[in-house]
Structure 1
Amino acid sequence: MQTFRAYLRDAAGVITWAAWVEAGTAADAQAQASALRPGQNPSVDLWSATERKLAPSARLDPV
């Protein structure tokens, strides 16, 4: 199993909902997240103990 972070953003890009999801694949994580928020399309990112794995187009802003 892998740990994923599922979240929803509003029109301004602010995260309005988030949840941890344990799943074997990203597709399974997406299905679980979608079941938690019916009618919405949460984003799902893979997380590891040492780094956050992002899609190539994503970036992290400094905190």
Structure 2
Amino acid sequence: MAMDFAFTDGIYNGSCLSLLGKNSAVNPAREMPIVGGTGLFRLGRVNIAQAYWLDVTTGDALVGYNDTVVH
């Protein structure tokens, strides 16, 4: 999975995070590395994804992301 988060408001305006890694929704929690960041998120490190709800029939899921970022 590859994801980019771009922030457009507040103190994080113009900053972004890029994640890349396996995001298997059947695991309750998994780590994906933050492979890049700009602005206040330069030198980001680890993203923890936590599945709160999963429908295996449709593949729909509710997932929370907790990022640890050094800046």
Identify the structure with the greater strand proportion: 2
* Bigger Cα Rg: 2
TM-score (norm: length of structure 2): 0.30
TM-score (norm: length of structure 1): 0.31
Q: Which structure is richer in relative contact order (CA contacts within 8 A, separation 6 or more)?
A: 1
